[in-house]
Amino acid sequence: MHRTQVIFEERQYEALKIRARHENRSLSEIVRLAVDKLLGIKHKKVYQLKDMCCLAKDPGGPSSRDHDKVLYGI
């Protein structure tokens, strides 16, 4: 990763802080995701460990065969 400095207008900064708090992400992560979206870079779905408790319970969610995705993101 590279470190850079960006100057936001006050309204932009406040909106980013609110969005980050709402999504339980860092402000930096929100900015990186926005840049990726602008550039058309898509992210594959990576399940989190908390998703393990619901394996095979949600018909549209991960199943037991997806445990590697849930644990390792592969």
Question: pTM for the whole thing?
Answer: 0.57
Mean pLDDT over each residue of the chain, to the nearest integer: 79
- Mean of the pLDDT values across residues 39-56? 66
Task: Quote the percentage of the chain above a pLDDT of 70.
Answer: 58
**Sequence-distant (≥ 6) Cβ neighbours of residue 47 within 8 angstroms:** 62, 66, 69, 70, 73
pLDDT at position 18 = 95
Q: What is the band of 67 on the pLDDT scale with cuts at 50, 70, 90?
A: low
What Å distances lie between residue 72 and 48, 49, 67, CA to CA? 9, 9, 8
Q: Find the largest Cα–Cα distance for the chain.
A: 47
CB-CB contact of 47 with 66 (8 Å): yes
Asked whether residue 31 carries a pLDDT value surpassing 60, the answer given is: yes
